[in-house]
Chain A
Amino acid sequence: DAKTTQPTSMDCAEGRAANLPCNHSTISGNEYVYWYRQIHSQGPQYIIHGLKNNETNEMASLIITEDRKSSTLILPHATLRDTAVYYCIVSYPTGNQFYFGTGTSLTVIP
């Protein structure tokens, strides 16, 4: 039931920006885009979320296209500790369960 599509894996050089794309072409007007990451078998960690405007916090930036059909998570200066599986999730409007897809396995290379 995942409503998002992400590349299976990506590499990024340490210190460079990591740009992780996500396609959510069936998103509806009141659904939010959330990003989480999971390092090894730890609990998923919240990164950022947005509705239609671009968002930035201390961890990352979220760029959402004007039609809202896709988004990009940007880690501005990737470090080795950013190696993880990144999940893009579209939330249901009444705030129910998140459906995690397979995510993108990001490897930051020294």
Chain B
Amino acid sequence: DSGVTQTPKHLITATGQRVTLRCSPRSGDLSVYWYQQSLDQGLQFLIQYYNGEERAKGNILERFSAQQFPDLHSELNLSSLELGDSALYFCASSVDPSGGAKDTQYFGPGTRLTVL
């Protein structure tokens, strides 16, 4: 158990819908990362937040957005869902992104999103 929690575990929805995935980082971790893992793309970095501020952006679609709240939990919002958005979505957290040991990311169990 990494200490990172994600809800829900599974989500089934229809095309065109909007969903919200939630992540609670490990106690004391200030940085949260979101990754997408689909069958044909592997693990892809989406976005990173540090202490409430967006820190880095990866291959995140404009239909997707995220935020980190004052209590440091984070939400990933996916809208206008398409079949291709079906994937595992992982959240990770680290103490802070200053490099080295404090940068070690601990991953949650993931949310499996199925778009029908």
Q: Would you call B99 and A30 a contact (CB within 8 A)?
A: yes
Query: Which parts of A60-110 form the interface with B (CB within 8 Å)?
Result: 87, 91-102
Q: Which residue of A lies closest to B45 (CB)?
A: A97
Number of A interface residues in the complex (CB < 8 A): 26
C-beta contact mask, A45-58 vs B, less than 8 Å → 1, else 0? 11001010000000
Query: Which parts of B82-116 form the interface with A (CB within 8 Å)?
Result: 88, 90, 92, 94, 96-110, 112
Q: Would you call B48 and A43 a contact (CB within 8 A)?
A: no
Bound Cα distance A68, B102 (Å):
21
Bound Cα distance A7, B28 (Å):
36
Q: Would you call A46 and B105 a contact (CB within 8 A)?
A: yes
C-beta contact mask, A20-47 vs B, less than 8 Å → 1, else 0? 0000000000101010101001111110
**Interface range on chain B (Cβ under 8 Å from partner):** 20 to 34
Q: Would you call A43 and B110 a contact (CB within 8 A)?
A: yes
B2 partner residues in chain A, CB cutoff 8 A = 43, 45-46
Bound Cα distance A94, B58 (Å):
15
Known: A46-B105, A100-B42. A32 touches B99 (CB 8 A): yes
**Interface residues in chain B, defined as those with a beta carbon under 8 Å from any beta carbon in chain A:** 2, 4, 31, 33, 35, 37, 42-45, 48, 55-56, 58, 88, 90, 92, 94, 96-110, 112
**Interface residues in chain A, defined as those with a beta carbon under 8 Å from any beta carbon in chain B:** 30, 32, 34, 36, 38, 41-46, 49, 51, 87, 91-102
**4 extra interface residue pairs, beta carbon distance < 8 Å, beyond A30-B99, A51-B100:** A44-B90, A45-B2, A92-B99, A98-B45
Chain A to chain B contacts (Cβ below 8 Å), 24 pairs: A32-B99, A41-B88, A41-B110, A43-B4, A43-B108, A44-B107, A91-B99, A91-B103, A92-B99, A93-B99, A94-B98, A94-B99, A95-B31, A95-B96, A95-B100, A95-B102, A96-B97, A97-B33, A97-B45, A97-B48, A99-B45, A100-B35, A100-B42, A100-B44
